[in-house]
Amino acid sequence: MDHLGYGEGAISIGFDEIVADDWEDQVVKPDILGKWPSLSKQPGYVDPPA
């Protein structure tokens, strides 16, 4: 909230369990690589998209 300058009412966080075998297709490709420029912190376990 401090980083974005928004109040508590404007932020939500959700958690979904993902089977390890599905991690790349369900998370890495769409939510990490597909949104790389907008991530506040890029993960160290995947290379940035080319």
**The pLDDT value given to residue 1:** 83
DSSP string, 5-48: T--GGG---------GGGHIIIIIIIIIGGGGGG-SS--SSSPP
Which pTM does this prediction carry? Answer: 0.67
pLDDT digits (tens, 9 = 90+) for 11-50: 888 999 999 999 999 999 999 999 999 998 999 999 999 8
